[in-house]
Structure 1
Amino acid sequence: MPIKIYQGNDMLLRESDITVVIDVIRAFTVAHYAFLKGVEKILLVATVDEAFHLKNQNPNLVLAGEIKGLPISGFELDNSPAHICHAKVEGKTLVQKTTNGVKATLNSLQAKDLYVTGFSNARTTATYLKKQIDQAERECHVHIVASHPTGDDDLACAEYMKGILEGNDVMDEKEVVERIINSHVAEKFFDASQPEFNADDLKYCVKELKGEFVMKVNKTGKIPTIERFFI
């Protein structure tokens, strides 16, 4: 089972059987908590204009995301897992546009099966995929994409998941959490001069939850869509 880790958001990788895109701080932590709050599905878009176009067509959509980590004017939600947990989103469809995770996912649509995760759902996702791979009757090629180009947060999560898929669990949760917290991506959340970055977000980003679903990208429609896939 060849498993390769890639880092960055703008790569066009060769086709794989399975690709997992990771964004710990914060896009796919937000997505995970959005589903836990009752969101139905999440549409992925590359640009702000595309998000507004969809909103004009369907005013019931909820726009969520960031540009360089900052809220987008006109969007109902930013990219904060702490905020999504207090938002009234049950039954809603989100439109998500982010700098790293969404972009990397949109560049990974050539995968046969495409999943996204943060650390909060990493073990659930990796354990599920390992079962699928073990049951396959052929060799599966797996790509794990740490979407932040330089962030050790996503890379630590990728290495953690790779260990689970390979059955060796060489990293434990505490090591991953430590690397996430100490990554340069997390620094601004501890910086009092940057209050726009909510320090509470990191509590959600480093809390691993027992889950009943993985987040799979449905590529059959015009707009790639994250859906809950119950396991």
Structure 2
Amino acid sequence: MVIMGMDAEMPVGGVVIVIDVIRAFTTAAVAFERGVTEIACARSVEVGRTLCQRYPDRLLVGEANGIKPPDFDLGNSPMELATAQLDGRALIQATSNGTLGLARCPDPVALLAVSARNVGAAARWIASNHADAPRVILCTGRTAEDWACARYLAGLLDGAEPDRADLVAGILDGAAEHARSYARRPVAERVDLSEDLRYCCDVDRSAFAMVGDVREDHVVLTPVPC
């Protein structure tokens, strides 16, 4: 099993697990909990807007540099999606890291999007469907939370019982790194993660894997109960 960052060269084939804890795939997991049927994940804000023209009935969600673009329906915020009317809707999501990471995987044996919220379900899905396939875990962010989630998932896949407290501590460390980075920005460009953090730290709340289907210019995520 290989754990790698966004700067590394992506191996061909195998099961690819793309991790974004703060906040893209926590947001996606909450969306599916709220009744969303599928999410078209775009590599960029521009591609997201193009998909929105193609699928005008879908809500456009996401961020650029952490902030919701003015023409998007919802931001990249699990708290925001937790209170939105989403049952039966389909979404388009475009984010700086998570959805871009999915786009880096053109021909995987299987492709999954993972946050702490669905990490256990992802491990169960992989064990049930691709137990013997090579695996790559792609951490889309440089901060601590994605790497903590990757280590936790690797432990589950190796048959261990990793400590949830270590995962939560890693998420909190990552959130502190984000906060320090945002504090250096102008006030108008800062992002407050405080309301989203409890969703990001809620390990295994979602009992489904988020499985990706690679299309020509995007990846479609659907929830698969596990």
**What's the TM-score, normalizing by structure 2?**
0.89
Shift in Å at residue 131 of structure 1? Answer: 3.3
* Separation of aligned partners in 2, 1:209 and 1:224: 23
Q: Pick one of 2, 5, 11 that aligns with 1:4.
A: 2
Match of 1:162 in 2: 154
Match of 1:13 in 2: 10
Q: Go from structure 1 to structure 2 and tell me whether the alpha carbon gap of 1:188 and 1:96 turns closer, same or farther (over 3 Å shift).
A: farther
Name stretches of at least 5 consecutive residues in structure 2 with no aligned partner: none
Shift in Å at residue 95 of structure 1? Answer: 0.6
* Separation of aligned partners in 1, 2:78 and 2:150: 20
Q: Go from structure 1 to structure 2 and tell me whether the alpha carbon gap of 1:127 and 1:57 turns closer, same or farther (over 3 Å shift).
A: closer
Q: Secondary structure at the match of 1:200?
A: helix
* Separation of aligned partners in 1, 2:12 and 2:144: 25
* Separation of aligned partners in 1, 2:74 and 2:60: 6
Q: Pick one of 167, 184, 201 that aligns with 1:176.
A: 167
Match of 1:84 in 2: 81
Match of 1:125 in 2: 122
* Separation of aligned partners in 2, 1:223 and 1:199: 30
* Alpha-carbon contact 1:11-1:104 (below 8 Å) kept: no
Match of 1:143 in 2: 136
Matches within 5 A, 1:104-119: 104-119=101-116
Q: Go from structure 1 to structure 2 and tell me whether the alpha carbon gap of 1:49 and 1:105 turns closer, same or farther (over 3 Å shift).
A: same
Name stretches of at least 5 consecutive residues in structure 1 with no aligned partner: none
- Over the aligned positions, Cα root-mean-square deviation in angstroms equals 2.1
Figure out how many residues of one structure are paired with residues of the other and give that number: 221
* Separation of aligned partners in 1, 2:192 and 2:48: 23
Shift in Å at residue 128 of structure 1? Answer: 2.5
* Separation of aligned partners in 2, 1:161 and 1:218: 21
* Alpha-carbon contact 2:40-2:93 (below 8 Å) kept: yes
* Alpha-carbon contact 1:11-1:107 (below 8 Å) kept: no
Shift in Å at residue 210 of structure 1? Answer: 4.4
* Separation of aligned partners in 2, 1:46 and 1:133: 26
Shift in Å at residue 188 of structure 1? Answer: 5.3
* Alpha-carbon contact 2:123-2:153 (below 8 Å) kept: yes
* Separation of aligned partners in 1, 2:37 and 2:212: 13
Deviations 1:176-195 (Å, cap 9, x if unpaired)? 1011101244425996x676
**What's the TM-score, normalizing by structure 1?**
0.87
Q: Does 1:69 align with 2:66?
A: yes
Shift in Å at residue 221 of structure 1? Answer: 6.0
Q: Percent identity?
A: 26
* Alpha-carbon contact 1:120-1:208 (below 8 Å) kept: yes
* Separation of aligned partners in 2, 1:220 and 1:76: 23
Q: Secondary structure at the match of 1:214?
A: strand
Deviations 1:45-77 (Å, cap 9, x if unpaired)? 123232222223332110101111111120010
